[in-house]
Amino acid sequence: MRTQVVIVGAGPAGLLLSHLLGLDGIDSVLVERQTAEYVQARIRAGILEAGTVELLRDAGLGARLDVEGMEHRGIHLQWPEHRHHVDFADLIGRSVTVYGQTEVTKDLMAAREKAGRPAYYSADGVTLHDVTGKPSVTFVDSDGKARRIDADVVVGCDGFHGPSRASIPDPQVWERTYPFAWLGVLADVAPSTDELIYAWHPDGFAMHSMRSPRVSRFYLQVAPDEDIAAWSDDRIWAALSERLGVPGWTLETGPITEKSVLPMRSFVATPMRHGNLYLAGDAAHIVPPTGAKGLNLAVADVALLARALTAAVRGDDRLVDAYSETALRRVWRCTHFSWWMTSMLHRHGDDFDARLQLAQLQRTVTSEAAAKELAENYAGLPL
């Protein structure tokens, strides 16, 4: 088989890139090692930046998003006895939308099937060849048949553990592992808040989010090696009530349907291009989830890359030549913002560090300039 672009990885980044290229008449084939059912069921980020929402709408992917997405004007920042609303819409004229990655993936899969774009799921032994010359990708398909796809370009949207980044010789890597993790909880209970709550507490960070008007998502700061079996439902609700509690507010509880411990780390690998191989999303960078940047950063990568590859097909290589440098400017900005949010809200260090965190929180909610800085980064830089 031959195509113009082979995309390794059929998560939301790979699916969106294939969709955007298709709108410009560029053929692509998706290759994914997991089953389609596994990809669609993955629970990930739930906050879409304003630019991500606009891009999805412009690409014809906004029908269900506009009905089921929950627009939020801002977030709540909290510490004991205090809860303050940071209104992004008032500050910068942009909002965010709660619409889970699972839902985005469903919309993208439906669009792929409607357009008839080819995809191979359950691909085994995916290997990249001659990425600095005439690239190809080989694998064994779900029927056990060996396949080879020749292409002009290979794009790695295959995450941290995929083969794409490993095909770049001697990448430069920056990494930080944080000394805490999140205990993530999904519960069948209506949200007790209108918008997300980010709470600093002496016992550790807590967050109240939501997936729908009937399903809530919660996070608790725990140790990286936390034994999830030690957290009964009663213990989880008690900790959430303590860390999220403020006078006059009650946390509603309900059946807990999912628990998991999520490690916290930052990772950036450069370059994001090697010959005719390009990296996008988690294949090149990972951020802690505190700033809600992971999915949005992947969307920004593929939006930039789709424009660059389209221009290159038409004879203009300037955007593809600048892709890595251009993408990394945004990557490092979002990495810094994610680090800043994480460092401000998670209990670590001694009491001196705690006082610094509280001073930063107070500054953020009392200074218009500081609040705007948070709003601009959280709601998203322009694509």
DSSP string, 61-128: --HHHHHH-EEESEEEEEETTEEEEEEHHHHHS--EEE--HHHHHHHHHHHHHHHT--EE-S-EEEEE
- Could you give the 3-state DSSP secondary structure of residue 143? coil
Task: Give the pLDDT of the chain (383 residues) as one tens digit per residue.
Answer: 999 999 999 999 999 999 999 999 999 999 999 998 888 877 666 899 999 999 999 999 999 999 999 999 999 999 999 999 999 999 999 999 999 888 999 999 999 999 999 999 999 999 999 999 999 999 999 999 999 999 999 999 999 999 999 999 999 999 999 999 999 999 999 999 999 999 999 999 999 999 889 999 999 999 999 999 999 999 999 999 999 999 999 999 999 999 999 999 999 999 999 999 999 999 999 999 999 999 999 999 999 999 999 999 999 999 999 999 999 999 999 999 999 999 999 999 999 999 999 999 999 999 999 999 999 999 999 88
Tokens encoding 154: 């290979």
Residue boundaries of the structural domains of the chain: 5-72+95-174+265-343, 176-263+347-379
Q: Using CA atoms, how far apart are residues 95 and 85, in angstroms rounded to an integer?
A: 13
> Cα dist. 259→136, 186, 192, 228, 342 in Å?
40, 7, 19, 8, 21
Bond prior to 247 in cis (omega within 30° of 0): no
Are the C-beta atoms of residues 298 and 304 closer than 8 Å to each other? no
Within 10 angstroms of residue 3's Cβ, the number of other Cβ atoms is 18
Angle between helices 12-23 and 294-313 (to 10 degrees): 30
Tokens encoding 279: 């990296």
Q: Using CA atoms, how far apart are residues 139 and 1, in angstroms rounded to an integer?
A: 12
Catalytic center residues:
72, 198, 289, 293, 378
What pLDDT score does 100 carry? 85
What pLDDT score does 44 carry? 67
Tracing tokens 């002496």 back to the chain, one arrives at 202
Residues in a beta bridge with 77: 84, 198
Radius of gyration over alpha carbons of the chain, in Å? 21
For residue 167, what is the DSSP state?
G
Q: Using CA atoms, how far apart are residues 377 and 333, in angstroms rounded to an integer?
A: 9
Which residues in 14-44 are b (16+ Cβ under 10 Å) and which e? bbbbbbbbbeeebebbbbbbbebeebbeeee
pTM for this prediction: 0.95
Determine the topology of domain 5-72+95-174+265-343 in CATH.
FAD/NAD(P)-binding domain (3.50.50)
Angle between helices 351-366 and 318-345 (to 10 degrees): 120
What pLDDT score does 45 carry? 66
Distance from chain centroid for Cα 29 = 23
CATH number of 176-263+347-379: 3.30.9.10
Most distant CA pair in the chain, distance = 65
Could you please report the per-residue DSSP string of 299-327? HHHHHHHHHHHHHHHTT--HHHHHHHHHH
Task: Report the half-sphere exposure of 257 (CA within 13 A, side-chain side).
Answer: 11
> Cα dist. 278→53, 265, 326 in Å?
24, 23, 13
DSSP-H helix ranges across 212-293: 233-244
CB neighbour list of residue 370: distance below 8 Å, 6 or more residues apart: 363, 364
What pLDDT score does 41 carry? 76
Distance from chain centroid for Cα 237 = 27
**Nearest Cα residue to 15 out of 132, 144, 155:** 155
